[in-house]
A = this chain, B = another copy of it.
Amino acid sequence: MIQPSLSFAEEVSSTVMSGDYAPWLALARVKGLGCVSFKKLVAHFGDPTLALSVARSELAAIDGLQRDAIDGIVGFSQWAEVDIDLKRIANAGITVVRYTDAVYPARLRTIADPPPVLYVKGALTEADDKAVAIVGSRSASDYGRRVARDLARGLASFGFTVVSGMARGIDGMAHETALNCHGRTIAVLGSGVERAYPPEHHKLYQRIAEQGAVISEFPMATKPMAFNFPARNRLISGLSLGVVVVEATEKSGSLITASLAVDQGREVFAVPGEVGSSRSRGAHRLIRQGAKLVETVDDIIEEIAPQLARSSGSTGKTEARQLPHNSGEAVQKIFALLQARSLQIDEIIESSGLGSAQVLGILLDLELQGYLRQLPGKVYTIER
């Protein structure tokens, strides 16, 4: 039941239109189906939710899909819980962003284990493609808070989205400063997205939701359990061009985030402090292991500038290649559409007013000539 590209596009398009989240929430609840197996479904079906309606034999034919995952999909029966989730989502004003949605963060798609869905309070925007994470100790010193504030202010002023974990200490300071500087900020939670945790950050949670986004991959009712946090941390780094560790003891969760960032090919930055301060020991260890020492925001930007130039962000700060003057009108039209922002194939077809076969042909040509890049979920972006 491998579908041709256009059918897939139509399929996804109809899903987007109907806002049919149920099969996605079901997939996210399937026992034994991890994010890596989920990627196998995407690779096989295009639309992974098709997995819920095919015969076991077809699932069994998917290379590398574990028995556990197949059993979980075939035997899935928690539709009542999905219904409760859907009501909760609607009541709480939560958006569900699916892996194949155009608004799903492009950078997060590239990690080994991207979540099938993100629960979002607030909104993700294209500007969030230019994101840097600031993380650190919950029991930060005045020095650590001051540096976190200075760096967040600098990043916000350069138009970066500040990503963090909404924890006490450094995280909170990073979010708050970004908000105060009218910048964007994303908080990634280790609990259901409607829970403002820790409690004293309730007001901060509301401000972030209004001016940025609070997100989580966990079902709505999930409590902030300790074992959720390492998983959460991979989203903090996965969303970001780089991760800045401001203060961290030797056992800090920030070191996990830094290690995940390295695995994901993200830049790791660390802020030094005085020798003898236990709060700087983790950062010093990171620097010894190769993290970039950061004094000011310039140190961060200098390091991520090359990535930024390569990135798919439509921030207008990077210049795309120009098409040859003799390119056809249809080609130029599609290229112009994608210069404004990255688009899913259905959006391109719709906006261009061209036939789908012609659009597919042009996209393929542009991709082969290196003008475009295709991201998972049939999203196309200009190669910069």
Contact = CB atoms under 8 A, between A and B. Distances in A.
A293 interface: yes
Interface residues of A, number: 20
A231 interface: no
B271 A295 contact: no
Interface stretch (A47-55, A194-202, A272-280): A272-280
Interface string A138-168: 0000010011000000000000000000000
A287 B293 contact: yes
A288 interface: yes
Contact of A293 (B271, B272, B295, B296): B272
Counting chain B CB atoms within 10 Å of each CB, which of A281, A292, A294, A295 scores highest? A295
Nearest to A296: B275
A40 to B, nearest CB: 42
B274 A273 contact: yes
A151 B143 CA distance: 24
A284 interface: yes
Contacts of A276: 146-147, 295
Contacts of A287: 272, 287, 293
Counting chain B CB atoms within 10 Å of each CB, which of A271, A274, A295, A296 scores highest? A274
Contact of A274 (B143, B284, B294, B296): B143
- This chain's copy number in the assembly: 2
Contacts of A288: 292-293, 299
Contacts of A274: 143, 272-274
A299 B280 CA distance: 15
Nearest to A141: B274
A306 to B, nearest CB: 17
A280 B284 CA distance: 14
Given A281-B295, A288-B293, A275 B272 contact: yes
A288 B300 CA distance: 12
Nearest to A294: B275
Interface string A318-361: 00000000000000000000000000000000000000000000
Nearest to A287: B293
Contacts of A271: 275
Nearest to A277: B274
Counting chain B CB atoms within 10 Å of each CB, which of A276, A287, A293 scores highest? A293
Contacts of A292: 288
A292 B288 CA distance: 7
Interface in A249-304: 271-276, 280-281, 284, 287-288, 292-296, 299
A150 to B, nearest CB: 8
A45 to B, nearest CB: 47
Contacts of A275: 147, 271-273, 294-296
A271 to B, nearest CB: 6
Nearest to A286: B293
Contacts of A293: 272, 284, 287-288, 293
Nearest to A283: B272
A295 B292 CA distance: 17
Contacts of A294: 275
Given A146-B276, A272-B293, A288-B299, 4 more contacts: A147-B275, A272-B272, A275-B296, A284-B293
10 contacts: A147-B275, A272-B272, A272-B284, A273-B273, A275-B294, A275-B295, A275-B296, A276-B295, A281-B295, A288-B299
Interface of A: 143, 146-147, 271-276, 280-281, 284, 287-288, 292-296, 299
For the complex of A and B, 3 pairs with smallest distance between CB atoms: A272-B272, A275-B295, A287-B293
